[in-house]
């Protein structure tokens, strides 16, 4: 599998990668999915301390025993919670981040994290304190690089200006093109990579996406009405062929922009994983098809007909 550099770092991540939030709590099942993904060439695994209140990190840690050197491991911090208790609070403080990394390292069963990400962010955060915490963790060798997970342009701009982040994880798909408005070019210009989560738009751009859209977009989706999503997902299926599944097309679309390092998909079953792995055998995405997709999925196109 092709790998792309994460920012200006020494980390190179596979073009498609596994988001572990959907793995569940069955260790054997999770290990089977992770092993299959790694054997196929996936090398980036993404989790967070908040997922199942630490349980997801434990599951991932157990599943990767003996394979740590094969993996670029990413997790997140910033949500203060107590395992076994409901709820959490936002806490981007230096104290919490430095305590959180130790808890994550223990749960993951490793002595370093490749990519440590702030799991959110607001314009009112003490950004200098947050950045200082991540920089100190790098110096201490507990993390290799750091980034943020955010869809807020104002937060992203502050980190671009003030920090040495290697990456930004954000929601991005052919049905959620908000990052294209200004953020992708900004990050590309500053040599900061994007990790795209939700590249299949809740499964609506997968190979059975039209069926899924009837449930997922019952009340519309972002700027689209239910009827518009139905029209798009029906047309999306027409792009499927022996050369490229609709799922592979969705992954190819987000990876088209030079800012992108990897498309992070979720998989709760081996079948879902295998569907995402069809990306590896897909015919290259042509500029013509990319342009057709942009036109077909453009919210402007639909707004003009309202």
Instruction: Take residue 282 and report the two structure tokens written for it.
Output: 């897909």
**Is 51 among the catalytic positions?**
yes
Write out the H or E segment, with its range, that includes residue 99.
helix 94-108
For residues 82 and 75, give the distance between their C-alpha atoms in angstroms, rounded to a whole number.
Answer: 17
Q: Which residues of 33-63 are buried (b: 16+ CB within 10 A; e: fewer)?
A: bbebbbebebbbbbbbbbbbbbebbbbbbbb
Q: Are 261 and 254 in contact (CB under 8 A)?
A: no
Active-site entry in 44, 51, 253, 279: 51
* Structure tokens, 203: 């499964």
Best CA proximity match to 220, nearest among 206, 197, 198, 204: 204
Yes or no: say if 32 and 270 are a contact pair by the CB < 8 Å rule: yes
5 and 143 in contact (C-beta within 8 Å)?
no
Residue 30, Cβ density class (10 Å: 0-12 exposed, 13-18 middle, ≥19 buried): buried
- Give me the half-sphere count of Cα atoms (radius 13 Å) on the Cβ side of residue 67: 21
| Residues annotated as part of the active site | 51
């Amino acid at each position: 599998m092709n790998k792309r550099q994460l920012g200006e770092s020494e980390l190179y991540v596979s073009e498609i990668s596994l988001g572990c939030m959907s793995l569940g709590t069955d260790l054997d099942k999770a290990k089977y999915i992770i092993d299959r993904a790694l054997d196929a060439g996936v090398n980036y695994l993404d989790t967070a301390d908040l997922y199942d209140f630490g349980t997801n990190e434990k599951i991932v840690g157990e599943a990767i025993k003996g394979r740590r050197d094969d993996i670029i491991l990413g997790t997140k911090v910033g949500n203060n919670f107590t395992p076994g208790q409901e709820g959490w609070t936002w806490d981007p403080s230096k104290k919490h981040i430095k305590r959180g990394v130790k808890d994550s390292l223990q749960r993951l069963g490793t002595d370093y994290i490749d990519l440590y990400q702030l799991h959110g962010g607001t314009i009112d955060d003490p950004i200098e304190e947050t950045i200082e915490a991540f920089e100190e963790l790098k110096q201490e060798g507990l993390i290799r690089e750091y980034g943020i997970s955010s869809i807020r342009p104002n937060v992203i701009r502050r980190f671009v200006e003030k920090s040495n982040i290697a990456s930004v994880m954000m929601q991005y798909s052919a049905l959620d093109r908000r990052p294209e408005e200004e953020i992708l070019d900004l990050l590309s210009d500053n040599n900061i990579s994007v990790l795209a989560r939700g590249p299949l738009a809740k499964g609506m751009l997968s190979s059975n996406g039209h069926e899924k859209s009837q449930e997922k977009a019952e009340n519309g989706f972002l700027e689209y009405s239910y009827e518009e999503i139905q029209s798009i997902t029906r047309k999306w299926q027409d792009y499927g062929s022996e050369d490229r599944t609709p799922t592979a097309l969705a992954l190819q679309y987000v990876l088209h922009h030079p800012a992108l390092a990897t498309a992070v998909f979720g998989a709760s079953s081996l079948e879902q994983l295998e569907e995402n792995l069809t990306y590896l055998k897909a015919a290259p995405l042509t500029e013509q098809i990319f342009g057709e997709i942009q036109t077909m999925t453009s919210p402007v196109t639909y707004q003009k007909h309202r």
